[in-house]
Chains A and B, each alone.
Chain A
Amino acid sequence: MSSVLTIKDLTEEEFTLPGNAACPGCAAALSLRIALKVLGPKTIMIVPASCISVIQGYYPKTPCRVPVLNVAFASTAAAGSGAVAALELKGKSGVKVLCWAGDGGTADIGLQALSGAAERNENMIYVCYDNEAYMNTGTQRSGATPRAAFTTTTVTGKLERKKSVPEIMIAHRIPYVATACAAFPLDFASKLKRAESMPVRGLKYIHLLSPCPPGWRFPAEKTVEVGKLAVMTGMWILYEWYDGGYNLTGPSKALLEKSRRRPLKDYLSIQGRFGHLKEEDLESLQRDVDEHWEEFSKKLGIRA
């Protein structure tokens, strides 16, 4: 399972139409656009309270060319389970259910519904687009906000660590778990394609890092650069987990050795949310990244 999509594999047809309410440079809007190109029009989207529900706009127009079910914050995966059951009862095959929630709707408020759906192994795709805070309400910290990051509720920097939802999902032993980054859309598209075309029924989970210009405090044109640096510094690891084993993907494959990774400072210094950090804070965060890789490298090649 290593087929990687190229730019020519993506359809020119757009399923999120221009003129929507996303901020300029929004990585979540970019990723949703790519995702629907991969999954196509026979998709039902389940969206909780999130930036995406804002991007959808208000009655009577919507930029989304696929049906969208807007649900309460906590219930994305529960509503997705319902949609899957309804499709099965009606005998409709070939229609995909895509749950698309933010980090607040996944790591915090929607976690129990997601865990329930994973335990029942519902046949759907769940994408968490992780912009590392509650961006749509004004950048409040979430369980997925990284340590030391400024948010409007952690004005001196968050004290706690980022919660790893992909690891929680792996613990549920669902068929497919992957991480992705909006700055590598073809890597993300390939993972979605793989999740979609897996013959085995069950929940497929993709955790997508989605840089946010207003929330992370960087200029809109730097979205792709920030996302790439998150991966190249090793702060964010691109991997897949299936059949009980981990695989590194994309640029992360080459980053096992510490010397190959860019210094974490490169990633932190271009974002205003880390602007308050002192030299010793940077060193401490760099140690976190190195330890995370050391821990992660032990899991590679181990097939349970």
Chain B
Amino acid sequence: MKSILSKPSEGASGLTGMWRIKRPIMDTDKCNMCMLCWLYCPEGTITKRAGGKPRIVYEYCKGCGICAEVCPSKAIIMLRREKGAVDR
């Protein structure tokens, strides 16, 4: 019988980064690697780089801004995109 089960996949609802109106920008020099941004990201779009510092996956980041709020060293700022521009 042909299976009609859904298969796990990134972007099950498309490139959700397109929803974003503010882009998180991380200053890795300020980052103290506490990983609270990773812990609190609802989407799981923050991953660890080789050096242990976090990296934001912009394809799927919805720009909620929780990472910037919870960052104790204020290493993340939220940059509003320009009117009409598409933030990818």
| A, B bound | yes
- Is B83 an interface residue when CB atoms closer than 8 A count as contact? no
- Is B39 an interface residue when CB atoms closer than 8 A count as contact? yes
Q: Which of A130-138, A218-226, A233-241 is the contact stretch?
A: A218-226
A177-235 residues with Cβ-Cβ distance < 8 A to B are 185-186, 213, 219-225
Instruction: Report chain A residues within 8 Å CB of B40.
Output: 30, 185, 224
What is the total number of residues of chain B having a CB less than 8 Å from a CB of chain A? 39
Instruction: Report chain B residues within 8 Å CB of A56.
Output: 6, 12
- Is B66 an interface residue when CB atoms closer than 8 A count as contact? yes
Instruction: Report chain B residues within 8 Å CB of A77.
Output: none
State the Cβ distance, A191 to closest chain B Cβ, in Å.
Answer: 16
Among A30, A34, A61, A220, contact of B9 (Cβ-Cβ < 8 Å): A61
Asked if A62 contacts B63 (CB within 8 A), the reply is: no
Instruction: Report chain B residues within 8 Å CB of A59.
Output: 4, 6
**Dominant SS among interface residues on chain B:** loop
Asked if A61 contacts B43 (CB within 8 A), the reply is: no
Among B15, B59, B64, contact of A223 (Cβ-Cβ < 8 Å): B64
Who on chain B is nearest to A16 by CB? B44
- Is B23 an interface residue when CB atoms closer than 8 A count as contact? no
Given A18-B60, A62-B12, A185-B40, A220-B6 contact (CB < 8 Å) = no
Bound-state Cα–Cα, A56 to B8, Å: 10
Asked if A22 contacts B42 (CB within 8 A), the reply is: yes
- Is A245 an interface residue when CB atoms closer than 8 A count as contact? no
Bound-state Cα–Cα, A225 to B70, Å: 9
Among B47, B59, B60, B66, contact of A25 (Cβ-Cβ < 8 Å): B66
Instruction: Report chain A residues within 8 Å CB of B39.
Output: 7, 10, 34, 185-186
**Interface magnitude class on chain A:** 35 or more
Asked if B42 contacts A30 (CB within 8 A), the reply is: yes
Instruction: Report chain B residues within 8 Å CB of A17.
Output: 8-12, 44
State the Cβ distance, B35 to closest chain A Cβ, in Å.
Answer: 6
Given A7-B35, A224-B66, A18-B9 contact (CB < 8 Å) = no
Instruction: Report chain A residues within 8 Å CB of B65.
Output: 25, 219-221
Q: Map CB proximity to B onto A4-36 as digits: 1 under 8 Å, 0 otherwise.
A: 000100101010111111111111011001100
Besides A19-B59, A29-B43, 13 other CB < 8 A contacts? Answer: A12-B48, A16-B44, A18-B60, A24-B64, A33-B42, A56-B6, A57-B13, A61-B6, A62-B9, A63-B8, A64-B8, A220-B64, A224-B40
* Interface pairs (19), CB distance under 8 Å: A12-B48, A17-B8, A17-B12, A19-B11, A19-B14, A24-B62, A24-B64, A25-B65, A30-B41, A34-B39, A57-B6, A57-B12, A61-B6, A62-B6, A65-B8, A221-B64, A221-B78, A224-B40, A225-B69
User: Which A positions have Cβ atoms within 8 angstroms of B?
Assistant: 7, 10, 12, 14, 16-27, 29-30, 33-34, 56-65, 185-186, 213, 219-225
